[in-house]
Structure 1
Amino acid sequence: MTKAAFGTILLFGAGHAAMAQNMVVRSTGPSASSYPAGKKMANDAKISLKAQDQVTILTPSGTRVLKGPGNYSLAQGGGSASSASGRLSSFINNRGSSRARTGAVRSAVSAAVETPSNPNLWFLDVTKGGKFCVADPDALVVWRPDYTGSATASIVEPKNGNVTEIAWRKGSALKAWPKDVLPVVDGANYRLLGSSVQQSVEVNFIVLGSEPADLDDAAAMLIENGCDGQLDLLVETVNANSGDPADQG
């Protein structure tokens, strides 16, 4: 599938095809084994939770956080499918090294008051470590939350200790990953230390075998590969757009 086709699916199929099913993305408590992350559920599925249970489900209209004890039906629940899915499609599809070279970020203009959230699922946050799923190795972008001034980041190769530096201009949040020097390959490990970050983080690249065809696939791939930071970001972004409170028994 080409990038253009992928973008078309997300942008024009968002209301109906983007999220075809309900999927568990987080689950804690006594019933966690009954509702593991990645489990897909029908629209009329019944969910029974015990005390201390909490299950987060990605749905066509956003996310639902169910808290026990209580009994729930996925047939009930509000939210606007077109609004939530439309925003999420932009969040997933908006990537590319050309934007990183210019450092152009529309949201950067008004974000001086509060720390912004990572605007894209595939941007590598210089402050976050762990497994990182890469959808397009040729267009990996490094993002920094604090772009009020100029900054640098050191990328260290753990095996040989070689250091490569990247630099952001004042007001720029994006920088293309130096792929010509540091290959973006499956299993590669790098340590990152930003000049405005207190401690370094270690990142382990997981290069996806194919680009996700829709939002179901994107969530499932993150869960399957253990890219928890990106999964958290996806859930938080959907929550911010849906504004729906948690369902509580």
Structure 2
Amino acid sequence: MRVMHALWGAAVAVALSSTPALASVVVVKSLGPSSKAYPPGKTLPETAKITLQGGDVVTVLGPAAAQTLRGPGNFAAGQTNLASAAGKRGRFGALRASEVVQNPSIWDVDVTQNGKICVANTAKLQLWRPDAEAAAKVNIRSADGKTQEIDWAAGKAVTLWPASLPVTSGTEYQIEWPDTGDKSSVSFVSVPNAPGDLVGAAQVLIENGCQHQLDLLVQGASKTTTN
């Protein structure tokens, strides 16, 4: 299986571009006693201190990296930027072929996943499959009953979303694999003006409930810190 390692995709690559003068971090996951104080979507200046109790697990994303903080302890929000985006890019390039294959872009549709998907450019929306060894087919059915068959050649992992099924915000689409009977269901949220930075992209994904893409974004930039 050909492994695709460019996990970051379009949304993550922009971390190498300009950073706002007053940088901030955003909470992307929060568990434990302090979760109400640090809910997902909350932004903090880099100078802020994050105070966690025992049992707290809070993941924050900054302009260049994500980090999981485990309590108890006091943490500087700005320490998420200790790992540069360039360093992370090199790390993913070094992954072994035996590692789990990852979607090359958070904006592509992983056909094995269910749920809501944020779309930055409906005209360039792509379907991605983790296993590209053999040729495969899927059927996509829209809510109004229209169906389109998609063919993947052996070795091909991505293909464009069919133009015959226009992407409409709020509409649900069923993706079925005829050979296995496996099915997934996705709905789209159009975000044509997606922010050009990691923190902004995470906020948009959180606000629109695009959890799988948020997980992918965070996974590509994560490191873990305990006090």
Q: TM-score, normalised by structure 2?
A: 0.83
Please state how far the C-alpha of 1:19 moved relative to its aligned partner.
Answer: 9.8
Residue 149 of structure 1: SS of its match in structure 2? coil
Q: Cα gap change, 1:196/1:84 in structure 2, threshold over 3 Å: closer, same or farther?
A: farther
Residue 168 of structure 2: SS of its match in structure 1? coil
Paired residue for 2:84, among 75, 81, 86? 81
Would you tell me which structure has more strand in proportion to its own residues?
A: 2
1:146-200 CA distances to partner (integer Å, 9 max, x unpaired)? 001101111122443x431101100000010002x11111111101123576631
Would you tell me which structure has more helix in proportion to its own residues?
A: 1
Please state how far the C-alpha of 1:211 moved relative to its aligned partner.
Answer: 2.8
In structure 1, list runs of 5 or more residues that go unmatched.
1-5, 92-106
Paired residue for 1:226, among 209, 215, 218? 209
Q: TM-score, normalised by structure 1?
A: 0.76
Matches within 5 A, 1:1-249: 10=14, 13=17, 16-17=19-20, 20-76=23-79, 79-84=82-87, 87=89, 113-160=98-145, 162-179=146-163, 181-194=164-177, 199-239=182-222, 244=223, 246-249=224-227
- Matched to 1:125, the amino acid is D
State the identity as a percent. Answer: 37
Which stretch of the first structure deviates more once superposed, 211-220 or 26-35? 211-220
Which structure has more RCO (C-alpha within 8 Å, separation ≥ 6)?
2
Distance 2:111 2:179 in 1: 10
- Matched to 2:82, the amino acid is G
RMSD: 3.0
Distance 1:223 1:128 in 2: 17
In structure 2, list runs of 5 or more residues that go unmatched.
1-9
Tell me, yes or no, if the aligned pair for 1:187 and 1:205 is still in contact at 8 Å.
yes
Number of aligned residues? 215
Please state how far the C-alpha of 1:217 moved relative to its aligned partner.
Answer: 1.9
- Matched to 1:208, the amino acid is V
